[in-house]
């Protein structure tokens, strides 16, 4: 069952990674691999005449109603949760939201250091091997503490400023989603 209606806004979750290109940070959608802007209007690349989202097509911005529904997409320790707002034309199912316009409201990052488990204070390029870094040629940031800091690191406020999206430490329930279900990196 799907519904097609105009709503003032819908709140949802996505998965994303904070990636480093040169010295610049950018957000990569965890499921589609495309760059996410703080605000955007969806376009359909297969059918340029579409005003997304269109029935029977994959166009439009996707989000999940519940963060838990994203657990299968988590690529620990690189995934971050994104809170988004969808507006304009909207299509919904029980689990999924699709919208014409998307605004990123907040990035929720893992609150513990991926190396030692201590409280995280910064985000950095971990020296853990990321098989996908080779694939994309760009590393993704993960949470670190001050003792395990890497040569390249950012405070959450600095990430927020660079991406124009607020950054918060995930609460335990959200962090569980980010830990995923123990799949190997590169399974998706
Ligand atoms: Zn389309
Ligand atoms: Zn540490």
For ligand 1, the distance from its centroid to the CA atom of residue 142, given in whole angstroms, is 34
CA of 149 to the centre of ligand 2 (A): 7
Dist. CA 188 → ligand 1 center (Å): 23
Q: What's the pLDDT score for residue 108?
A: 98
Average pLDDT score over the chain: 88
Q: In the prediction, which pLDDT does 4 show?
A: 54
Q: Which residues hold their Cβ within 5 A of ligand 2, which is an ion?
A: 113, 115-116, 118, 145, 148
pLDDT band at residue 131 using 50, 70 and 90 as cut-offs: low
More confident position, 33 or 62: 62
Q: Which residues contact 63 (CB under 8 A, 6 or more apart)?
A: 10, 12, 13, 14, 84, 86, 96, 97, 98, 99, 102
The mean pLDDT value for 71-94 works out to: 93
The pLDDT assigned to 184 comes to: 45
104 Cα–ligand 1 center, Å: 22
3 state DSSP class of 26: strand
Residue whose pair of structure tokens reads 């091997």 in the numeric block: 129
Determine the Cα–Cα distance for residues 143 and 121; give it in Å rounded to an integer.
7
| CA–centroid distance, residue 58 to ligand 1 (Å) | 6
Rounded CA separation 19/75 (Å) = 13
C-alpha to C-alpha distance for 173 and 28, rounded to whole angstroms? 23
pLDDT tens profile 136-183: 668 889 999 999 988 889 999 999 999 999 999 999 999 999 998 764
100 C-alpha to center of ligand 1: Å?
11
**How far apart are alpha carbons 177 and 72 in whole angstroms?**
8
């Amino acid at each position: 069952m799907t519904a097609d209606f105009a709503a003032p806004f819908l709140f949802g979750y996505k998965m994303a990674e904070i990636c480093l290109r040169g010295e610049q940070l950018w957000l990569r959608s965890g499921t589609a691999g495309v760059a996410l802007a703080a605000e955007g209007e969806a376009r359909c690349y297969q059918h340029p005449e579409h005003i997304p989202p269109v029935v029977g097509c994959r166009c439009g911005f996707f989000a999940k109603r519940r963060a838990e529904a994203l657990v299968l997409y988590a690529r620990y320790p690189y995934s971050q949760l994104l809170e988004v707002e969808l507006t304009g034309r909207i299509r919904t199912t029980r689990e999924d939201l699709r919208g014409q316009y998307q605004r990123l409201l907040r990035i929720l990052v893992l609150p513990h250091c991926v190396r030692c488990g201590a409280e995280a204070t910064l985000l950095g390029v971990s020296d853990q091997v990321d098989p996908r870094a080779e694939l994309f040629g760009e590393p993704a940031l993960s949470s670190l503490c001050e003792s395990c800091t890497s040569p390249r690191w950012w405070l959450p406020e600095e990430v927020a400023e660079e991406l124009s999206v607020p950054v918060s430490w995930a609460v335990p329930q959200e962090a569980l989603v980010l830990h995923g279900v123990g799949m190997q990196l590169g399974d998706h």
